[in-house]
Amino acid sequence: MKLAQNIKGISKLLMLLLLIVFFLLGTVLSYIWTMGFYAPNEYNLPNKTSVTIENVQFPPEDTAFFNVTLLNPSYSPSDAVIDQIKVSTTDGNVHSITSTSPTLPITLVPGQSKTIRSFWSWTRYVDQTVDVYVLVVGGSGPAIQAKTPFMNLTVTDVVFEPSVTSTRFNITVQSMRSPISVDISEITVNGAAVTNVAPTLPYRLNPNASKTFALQRDWADLQNQTVSVEVRTAQGYEAFKTVTGPLMKLNVFDVQFFNTTVTDFYFSVTIQNSAVSLAGVDVNLVTVYVEGQNITIGTVTPNLPQALQQDSTLLLTCTWDWSQFKGKSATVTIYTTQGFKSSSTETNIPDTP
């Protein structure tokens, strides 16, 4: 009697297990049937090659290139031939990358990823958002936006000191909140490199640092002119500043030749420091150019050097035997300790005393 009850209980348990198995099997078959109906429309795989841009990197240490990492997905139906890379910048220009490593075109098989070094100077697009495009032969080309690194390299000051010298001026360069140190390699003025700079170049400028450079460059030709200063670094960064050179207007006029005896010869000359000049000067030398000779006047009254302030004049009497140059044309030039000079128009030396 007990054995019969046990057999009956086992039969019910087996029946229950069979019901569960058939239920699960039916559920799976139903899911497969349903997905088989909807999946072709829901999950259409591409029939053309579709490359994706995984990453774009602009290294702050070198503005001469950027890196693009591309992927030809494993579900892609064919190889992808990368034909071109272009960059669109905020100024509306589209830049075609003409040099890459490896050289384009390159082929990516399905599932393959590759980083391409693209040589293009982005120094004028620092801290800007650019669009990077990749063109694929016979397929869809991806695009992505990327931002170039921040670099705050600036020329903060261009300082002329006309009361001190006309042969040197100073510039100050800052690199505030910049991510890396830079090596200042060249400084130009109106496009021409200044070779005599203190401290000497190259000079490493650290983030949040400032440095003043003395440019040993005569700036007499820059008076009242546009002065464009450019600072360049070994990393490719540039900084610009444009100012107007200071005006120092010295005039030489009223040159007169005299003699009181047959041996006492001299001339007088008037020098003016114009009201438009930005500083006073110190007159320290007078010369006469005549008959191919440049003659330095040794005896001048009052004694040189003599201060000459803005909007003022100075009369000098210069002892010089001009008798051998009677009837000739002479040019009188005055010089200052600051390096400025000014000349008279040609003046005829008297024929007779």
CA dist., res. 280 & res. 249, Å (int)? 10
Mean pLDDT for 243-262 is: 90
pLDDT in the model for residue 201: 97
In tens, the pLDDT along 54-99 reads 999 999 999 999 999 999 999 888 899 999 999 999 999 999 999 9
Residue 262, domain CATH? 2.60.40.10
CA dist., res. 85 & res. 118, Å (int)? 8
Domain end, chosen from 125, 147, 169, is at 147
Whether 76 is in a domain gets the answer: yes
Cα atoms found within 13 Å of the Cα of residue 43, Cβ hemisphere only: 6
Range of the domain at 302: 250-348
- Whether 250 shows a pLDDT value over 80: the answer reads yes
Please give the C-alpha separations between residue 132 and each of 69, 142, 169, 219, 259, in angstroms, as whole numbers: 11, 8, 43, 44, 83
Q: Percent of the chain, pLDDT > 90?
A: 76
Residue 190, domain CATH? 2.60.40.1890
Residue with the bigger pLDDT between 156 and 24: it is 156
CA dist., res. 350 & res. 328, Å (int)? 8
- Which pLDDT band, with edges at 50, 70 and 90, does 348 fall under? confident
Residue with the bigger pLDDT between 345 and 126: it is 126
Whether 46 is in a domain gets the answer: no
DSSP 45: P
In tens, the pLDDT along 27-59 reads 655 555 444 444 444 445 556 678 999 999 999
Residues 226 and 311 reside in one and the same domain: no
Cα atoms found within 13 Å of the Cα of residue 184, Cβ hemisphere only: 30
In tens, the pLDDT along 157-170 reads 999 999 999 999 99
Look at residues 98, 178, 88 and name the one whose alpha carbon lies nearest to residue 129: 88
In tens, the pLDDT along 322-342 reads 989 998 999 999 999 999 999
Give the burial class of 341: count Cβ atoms within 10 A of its Cβ; 0-12 exposed, 13-18 middle, 19 or more buried: middle
> What is the residue type of 290?
V
Which helix (H) or strand (E) is 209 found in, with range?
strand 209-215
CB 171 within 8 A of CB 215: yes
Tokens of 198: 């203190």
Please give the C-alpha separations between residue 167 and each of 91, 173, 249, 306, 351, in angstroms, as whole numbers: 39, 20, 16, 20, 40
In tens, the pLDDT along 170-220 reads 999 999 999 999 999 999 999 999 999 999 999 999 999 999 999 999 998
pLDDT in the model for residue 154: 96
φ and ψ of 113, to 5 deg: -120, 145
Q: For the chain, how many structural domains are there in total?
A: 3
Tokens of 290: 């005549």
- Which pLDDT band, with edges at 50, 70 and 90, does 259 fall under? confident
- Which pLDDT band, with edges at 50, 70 and 90, does 346 fall under? confident
